Structures are given as C-alpha cells and as structure tokens.
Amino acid sequence: MSDAGEPAIALVLVDSALWARLTPAPLGASVQTHVAGPAAGDVVAVTSELVLAQWLEGRLSGADALRQGMLLLEGPPDDVLRVSARFARIGASR
C-alpha cells in the first residue's frame, strides 16, 4: 500500500501475459510497464487487451467489466473493495 493509503495495482493482460504496475501518485498513478509481476500487497487486476481498450475508449464502464467478470481483482479484501469502487466509477455505460 502507498503512503497515501491507496493500494498499488498490478495489472496483467491475459492475452499477452504482460504485467504493469500502477502506483498512486499525486495526480493519478505512476505506471511501470513490463514488470515481472505483482509486488507484495498489490491488488492484482486481471483482464484482456480488448476489455482494457474498450474501457479506456469509454465503450465499457469499469462497473460493467467487474459485474460481467471481464475484470477480476484479487488481493487483500479491504484493498480490493477500494480498487473495485474506484474502477466502477471509470468509464460510461452505453
């Protein structure tokens, strides 16, 4: 967990087995790409490249991705709840 109380997120794209790590920063998140995997205490987010692209393009909401099982989260339960709530607010349902 970061000093700000928000957990870091290790994102894996299942299509390519590529990992990235998102660490909370003052203006959003600091992103490290091509990391070896999650660090201790990270919330792990598992999704596909297609889901991530649709989410970033605003064609899929985080809430819908989570609800439909297209985005899975694992980690310490309280941190998973915080990340889930944050992700659910991103993107617009169409």
DSSP string, 29-48: EEEEES-SSPPTTPEEEEE-
**CATH architecture, range 9-88:** 2-Layer Sandwich (3.30)
* pTM reported for the whole predicted model: 0.88
Backbone dihedral angles phi then psi of residue 29, each to the nearest 5 degrees: -145, 150
Q: Cα-Cα-Cα-Cα dihedral of 46, 9, 66, 55, to 10°?
A: -90
Tokens of 78: 């309280």
Can you tell me the distance from the alpha carbon of 1 to that of 14, in angstroms, rounded to the nearest whole number?
24
54-60: average pLDDT: 91
6-14: average pLDDT: 95
Mean pLDDT, the chain, as a whole number?
90
Tokens of 14: 């299942």
Most confident residue range from 24-28, 56-60, 87-91: 56-60
